Chains A and B, each alone.
Chain A
Amino acid sequence: MTATYDCRGAYAATLADLARQDRNVIVLVNDSVGSSKLDGFVKEFPNQTVNVGIAEQNMVGVSAGLANGGKVPFVSAAGCFITGRAMEQIKADLVYSNYHVVLCAQSPGIAYGPLGATHHSIEDVAWMRVLPNMTVIVPADPAETEQAVRWAYGHDGPVYIRISRFRVPAVHAEDYSFAPGKAVVLREGTDVTLASNGVVLHRALAAADLLAESGISARVLSVASVKPLDEAAIIAAASETRGIVTAEEGLASGGLGGAVAEFVARTHPTRVTALGLPDTFAPTGSPSWILDHFGLSATGITDAARALVG
């Protein structure tokens, strides 16, 4: 059986490594130490941890002020609250003011499956993507999570990174290096492109196996960098394959699917099927059940690809 990982482990270890090297690295939490897997970090770096309590608007404002004072804040809170509750602070204090703050959205998407839609963060990628000056990253495995966090540390501007708890296998090679605006072809293919990221990416890889069995050659594109988008890779997919299926843990509109559809409509029109939650909140269920329920399974992605190019 393939080993699977909770990406928070790589996240916490990377932050600790950065904090050891740079005492300006600060972690902000909203009483979210345990849920961010940061117990060890808090113990080792009590003076580099700021707990603002359950107050997300203040948390994001405080992060901007810390950045003003030369700190490098990593804001670590549940994706659903860090975005929706503090949206205007993200817009005005971080993005418009151009402060180097890294928003680390814990347990995003439908990771809190049974807790219900208040705790799901299915809108976050769409909300963050339309903010000018924001970088949006949805890592798929521990290696990519670590790389994204390290890159964000060195990037002088606001960054949004999803940090998932939903266990995933490693999909990237050990020498993988994240770069913004750079998608990775995990598998070559000529009939259809499966563009995915986050916890759904390994399902897209499994779908490519199923499609191969029925003679359809699927390219699998790993698109952790939703913004900036790898425009060359998308144009290549649009011109070299007969259609693009996007698959993501979130709303089908506005996120990765929205980004790809907008881009190809402007540059190289091709058929796009965007898989994700349709215009609805998810019912109660485990994360994997919810993904399957909305066709974000290997068979669901396979069916969508077949319908598109079969």
Chain B
Amino acid sequence: MMGDTTRWDHVVTPVLGRTAPGASREEVVAHLRRASTELRRRDPLMIAHSGNGHIGGDYSIADVLVTLVLHELNLDPADPLKADRDRLILSKGHTAGALYIALALAGYFPVEELMTFMDPGSRLSGHPNRGYIPGIEANTGALGHGLPIGVGAALAAKLDGSPRRTVVLMGDGELQEGSNWEALMAGAQFGLDRLYAVCDRNRLQMGTPTEQTIALEPLADRARAFGWHVVEIDGHDHGQILDAFAAAPAPGKPTFVISHSHKGYPISFMSDKVSRHHHVPTPDEIDAILNELTPDDIDAILSELEEQK
């Protein structure tokens, strides 16, 4: 059901663009933190508008998405199909809302268009479509598809001797699909060390916790046993996300990043709640979210990072 969101018309999403070349690490982190907050402020409005969406998973993957799209990956919103761009494949296609906001923040398409999310005829379908908007590499939505496509994309790069990276963002519940394990075997067999699988390990699938459904643990051991280099990070810490991709990959091995995260993070009444998988927030809840997530002041973040040093 389409909801009326006019009461939040005062909420504006800025086009932050990608990080500036030569920016210091502190400046990069501050930029990404601000973008992540903007993503989380816009997301519930889109979901309220469309009456549909996946707010829990949007929030758990938000920081990784923002870090990759606005900084880490070799991408150009002005030339979205440039030949040696890094490839970003959102295998957990149900968090398309978060991807759309990250792309709009980077400048791939106008931020105003975000509020057409799932409208009739909108380019912003409930799951991403590469024919509709720039910045999409594969039409995902059916789970267990992204990693095989990523293996192919990384293999094409390897065959061409290209240094481009391929990053697949996966849900954790999605690992219950067998096709992922076929792709894990193939990625290791082909020695695709420019391939990254990021598992958004929020430990919740649609109806239940993963470990109470079909357990994934010991996930790191399993990925290692399949021949992958494993890195574990706090998926809400932009510095750790940057470090995971800045580190040299293990020679001949693809990298499996276990990104420990929380559905609904950091909202007090949403975090880690299985009921928030595709909950449509009420107007009062949106007000509470916006209250908890005031737009970040870059200078304040920078001085905070300076103090931490």
Contact = CB atoms under 8 A, between A and B. Distances in A.
B159 A58 contact: no
Given A66-B155, A93-B149, A53 B186 contact: yes
Interface stretch (A67-75, A182-190, A246-254): A67-75
B92 to A, nearest CB: 14
B148 A65 contact: yes
Nearest to B162: A69
A93 B138 contact: yes
Contact of B153 (A26, A60, A68, A88): A68
A88 B152 CA distance: 17
A53 B185 contact: yes
Given A66-B156, A89-B145, A58 B151 contact: yes
A74 to B, nearest CB: 13
Given A69-B155, A96-B139, A64 B179 contact: no
A69 B140 CA distance: 17
A49 to B, nearest CB: 11
Contacts of A89: 145, 148, 179
Contacts of A26: 159
Contacts, number: 106
Contact of B148 (A58, A69, A70, A73): A58
A70 B138 contact: no
Contacts of B166: 65
Interface in B210-236: none
B182 interface: yes
A93 B87 CA distance: 15
A18 interface: no
Interface residues of B, number: 35
B142 A70 contact: no
A61 B139 contact: no
A67 B155 CA distance: 10
Contact of B182 (A58, A65, A71): A58
B155 A92 contact: no
A62 B166 CA distance: 13
A45 to B, nearest CB: 11
Contacts of A71: 156, 159
A92 B160 contact: no
B139 A62 contact: no
Contacts of B83: 70
A93 B145 contact: yes
B25 interface: no
A69 B130 CA distance: 14
B142 A62 contact: no
Interface in B144-193: 144-145, 147-157, 159-160, 166, 178-179, 182-183, 185-186, 189-190
A62 B140 contact: no
A124 B259 CA distance: 40
B129 to A, nearest CB: 8
B148 A68 contact: no
Contacts of A92: 139-142, 145
Contacts of B147: 61
Interface string B10-42: 000000000000000000000000000000000
Given A57-B182, A93-B138, A97-B138, A62 B155 contact: yes
Contacts of A98: 130-131
Contact of B152 (A47, A57, A62, A96): A62
Nearest to A50: B155
B63 interface: no
A55 interface: yes
A69 B138 contact: no
Nearest to B137: A68
Contacts of B142: 88, 92
A302 to B, nearest CB: 46
Nearest to A67: B152
Contacts of A88: 142, 145
Given A57-B182, A58-B179, A89-B148, A66 B138 contact: no
Interface in B267-283: none
Given A89-B145, A89-B148, A92-B141, A62 B157 contact: no
B134 to A, nearest CB: 14
B156 A61 contact: no
A55 B179 CA distance: 8
In this complex, the member of B149, B155, B159, B178 whose beta carbon has the largest number of chain A beta carbons within 10 angstroms is B149
Contacts of B137: 68
B153 A65 contact: yes
Interface in A95-126: 96-98
B145 A61 contact: yes
B186 A65 contact: no
A66 B145 contact: no
Contact of A58 (B130, B154, B186): B186
A60 B152 CA distance: 9
12 contacts: A26-B159, A53-B189, A62-B152, A65-B138, A65-B150, A68-B138, A68-B149, A68-B153, A69-B160, A73-B152, A93-B149, A97-B139
Given A65-B153, A96-B139, 15 more contacts: A53-B185, A57-B179, A61-B149, A62-B155, A65-B151, A65-B155, A66-B153, A68-B138, A69-B156, A70-B83, A89-B148, A89-B179, A93-B138, A97-B131, A97-B139
User: 6 smallest A-B Cβ distances: which pairs?
Assistant: A65-B152, A69-B156, A61-B148, A58-B182, A62-B152, A65-B153
